[in-house]
Amino acid sequence: MRAIAAGADSAAELGRRLSVSKQAAAKTIALLQERGYVARDPDPIDARRKRLQVTALGFDMLRQGEAIFDQLRNRWEQQIGRAQLESLEANLKALIGAVPERFDTLGWIAQDQAKPD
């Protein structure tokens, strides 16, 4: 929903921003729309196109999620200390890199299929 709020107004654009396929993005959009978090509104310029918008309920859910994460992060800080938590966050950012990995690409699918059960 955060990507939609930031301007990803189609399944193709959402897929690019989340580094997933257009089909995966469309499934996510359908679920978010079914739950009332996202709406598809007519594009004022192109009547064939529907633009994605986060609803008031969707923004409320984002705020609730942020509050829960803040509580969780505070608990982690109490458990391991601020310096350790900041180091962990920096290491995770370094692992992710500037461009997120796409897990729907053939290389990742082949890796997953090669793993023994």
Q: Where are the alpha helices (DSSP H) in the chain?
A: 2-5, 11-18, 22-34, 56-80, 82-96, 106-114
Instruction: Measure the CA–CA gap between 32 and 55, rounded to whole angstroms.
Output: 10
- Is residue 6 within 8 Å of 59, Cβ to Cβ? no
Tell me: the pLDDT tens digits for 73-109? 999 999 999 999 999 999 988 988 776 665 555 555 5
55: tokens are 């609803």
User: Model's pTM, two decimal places?
Assistant: 0.70
Determine the pLDDT at residue 42: 86
| CATH number for region 2-112 | 1.10.10.10
Domains of the chain, residue spans: 2-112
- Is residue 37 within 8 Å of 58, Cβ to Cβ? yes
Determine the pLDDT at residue 28: 93
75: tokens are 């608990």
The helix-helix angle for 82-96 and 56-80 (nearest 10°) equals 120
Tell me: the pLDDT tens digits for 28-71? 999 999 999 999 988 888 878 889 999 999 999 999 999 999 99
